Homo-oligomer: A and B are copies of this chain.
Amino acid sequence: MSDATAGEIADRGLAAEGVRRIEWAAREMPVVAQIRERFAAERPLEGLRVSTCAHVTTETANLVLALRDGGAETRLAASNPLSTQDDVAAALVAEYGVPTFAIKGEDHATYFRHLDLAIEHAPGVGPQLTIDDGADLTALLHRERRDLLDGVAGGTEETTTGVIRLRAMADDGALGYPIVAVNEAETKRFFDNRYGTGQSTLDGIIRATNILLAGKTVVVCGYGWCGRGIAMRAQGHGAHVIVTEVQPTRALEAMLDGYRVMPIAEAASEGDIFVTATGDINVIDRPAFDAMRSGAILANSGHFDAEINLEALEAMTEARRELRPFVEAWTLSDGRQLVVLAEGRLINLGAAEGHPASVMDMSFANQALCLEYLAGRHASLEAGVYDVPREIDEEVARLKLAAMGVAIDELTEEQERYLRSWEQGTA
């Protein structure tokens, strides 16, 4: 089904299933739900055009519906060709009237055409606000639709990878409008990246392979928040964890957290399963492939499918064969077999359902509140990459705790005074 107004999706018939799953996710997204309710009453985004590039999942659907109820006109494209949930796309188009351009497994050309369609709300009319996940939409806008740049008041970016790209743009003086790095919110980075990626990456590996992790050696490349989460959950499954890193402080932290740390070339011969989560390219490359045992399993949890150098692996390979969905054995010329999961694309979206709704709840609550913030503030912000305002971060945490039924202490006046004072000390 394709229609520049209504969207382009795989199968409208999946809409009912999509609605059911979107509602299921809503149960685990009480913070977005509360914001959606307020937005419906206050309409802070009234009439604003929003172009959203995100994984088309049940959670994204809940964000988009909050924006819609807040008055925004939203268009949505996928941020990854493989991660679209076709039933969700169908529901957005057929039941909720949100123009959505996303088909699971779409090819390269379609992927970028869909981004174009999400950018252009009407011929020659672009967005006033953007939401991005990996900075593909933002980059496209800056590269090919500079005519629409002036109309953009601001945007947000969801991922580490995207923020790295945007900072590089800003350093080059190439960034055309202010973007809030939602990724840097404590309630995003600490939760979504660590707990969300942690659980869902292992979930993806298990769904794809159904192997027992206890007793296996899992090599985690990268010890940022995502890598920390993956390592923590792999250990929680009884695996031996080895971490590889390039930053000394992180490497040291991994050591003291009880993992072994070594260069990838050395880890290669010890690992049963390898997972990349660095935001960089070719983290696992030829020398590592050379050293791996036959049967080693390779998965990527970073945003782009460039962390495992599959081109280099291809050059060593004689035959490829799918063993299970998302599980492909690559037989090398020397007879060894390496097993690549989800074609090296992000495993938690490829082979599982992405982050659980309850962590996306916080990321997307930040998205919604940051968009509201930009809508009200954009006149005063210059082009650049901005942090999420502290008060938004705290508000998201407060709403979440309340939804979990958790009460916490408050500082007494005396305690606040003490923290402000400096005369007290050893008494």
Residue ranges of A at the interface with B (Cβ–Cβ < 8 Å): 20-21, 23-25, 27-28, 79-81, 108, 111, 134-136, 139, 143, 164-166, 168-169, 171-172, 174, 186-187, 190-191, 194-196, 198-199, 203, 206-207, 209-215, 232-233, 235-240, 244-249, 251-253, 255-264, 266, 279-283, 295, 304-306, 322-324, 327, 352-353, 355-359, 393-394, 397-398, 400-401, 404, 406-412, 414-415, 418-427
- A414-B215 CB under 8 A given contacts A80-B426, A261-B406, A409-B263: no
B residues less than 8 Å from A207 (CB atoms): 203, 207
B residues less than 8 Å from A169 (CB atoms): 422
**Beta-carbon contact of B211 and A28 below 8 Å:** yes
Please measure, in the bound complex, the distance between the C-alpha atom of A25 and the C-alpha atom of B323, giving whole angstroms.
Answer: 10
Counting chain B CB atoms within 10 Å of each CB, the highest count among A25, A305, A356, A394 belongs to A356
**Beta-carbon contact of B28 and A401 below 8 Å:** no
- A406-B255 CB under 8 A given contacts A304-B425, A411-B246: yes
**Beta-carbon contact of B258 and A409 below 8 Å:** no
**Beta-carbon contact of A196 and B212 below 8 Å:** yes
**Beta-carbon contact of A215 and B28 below 8 Å:** no
Please measure, in the bound complex, the distance between the C-alpha atom of A412 and the C-alpha atom of B312, giving whole angstroms.
Answer: 16
Counting chain B CB atoms within 10 Å of each CB, the highest count among A27, A280, A425 belongs to A425
**Beta-carbon contact of A215 and B249 below 8 Å:** no
Q: Which residue of B lies closest to A257 (CB)?
A: B238
Please measure, in the bound complex, the distance between the C-alpha atom of A245 and the C-alpha atom of B410, giving whole angstroms.
Answer: 8
- A21-B199 CB under 8 A given contacts A166-B422, A356-B211: no
Which residue from B261, B305, B423 sits with its C-beta under 8 Å from A408?
A: B261
Nearest-neighbour CB distance to chain B for A129, whole angstroms, equals 20
Please measure, in the bound complex, the distance between the C-alpha atom of A419 and the C-alpha atom of B304, giving whole angstroms.
Answer: 13
Q: Give 13 new A-B contacts, CB below 8 A, not counting A24-B323, A211-B358, A280-B419.
A: A135-B425, A165-B422, A174-B422, A199-B206, A199-B237, A203-B206, A210-B352, A212-B356, A232-B238, A233-B236, A248-B401, A252-B397, A306-B424
Q: Can you report 30 residue pairs joining A to B where beta carbons are below 8 Å apart?
A: A21-B324, A108-B426, A135-B422, A135-B425, A136-B426, A165-B421, A165-B424, A168-B421, A168-B422, A169-B422, A199-B238, A215-B252, A215-B258, A215-B404, A233-B237, A233-B238, A235-B236, A238-B258, A244-B408, A246-B408, A248-B408, A249-B394, A249-B397, A251-B406, A261-B406, A262-B408, A264-B409, A266-B407, A280-B418, A280-B419
B residues less than 8 Å from A427 (CB atoms): 108, 304-306
